[in-house]
Structure 1
């Protein structure tokens, strides 16, 4: 599961991205990788590991809802 969100507001000189990806790792765990920053820049990255895919997807969906409340929309 990959979700790419944008928040663009030219009046505030704001062009941000937020990417959330749920994937398996080499050791059998499931990870949620979050990348964020200004569009066009490399940004920052955080990886969290979960014992099951259900827990990882639940966490990812919660992050997506939080970002949507803050004005992020799915990228076209």
Structure 2
């Protein structure tokens, strides 16, 4: 059973290079209760590609999650900011 949920969505957009990429990471339990890291990436607006990593312990999944996050941040990926809803 996972102690805490892990979900992340980051984007890298550079109009000068015609670049619009996304990358998602999520740690979820399998049907057997073991942790699974789901990675999805591709061009924004597409389904992209998916890779799944299965682990015996949550700590291993979290370590890979954080390593991948560091790699993406170093390549310029940023968390997408969301504008708050306003009533008018």
Q: TM-score range by the shorter chain?
A: over 0.9
Out of 9, 16, 19, the residue aligned to residue 14 of structure 2 is 9
> For residues 14-70 of structure 1, what are the alpha-carbon distances to aligned partners after superposition, in whole Å with 9 as ceiling and x for unaligned?
000000001110012100000000000010000000111111011101000000001
Higher strand share: 1
Counterpart for residue 77 of structure 2: 72
Structure 1, unmatched stretches of 5+, are none
Structure-1-length-normalised TM-score: 0.96
How large is the RMSD of aligned CA atoms in angstroms?
0.6
Matched, 1:33 2:3: no
Runs of 4+ in 1 over 2 A off after TM superposition: none
Structure 2, unmatched stretches of 5+, are 1-5, 82-88
Structure-2-length-normalised TM-score: 0.84
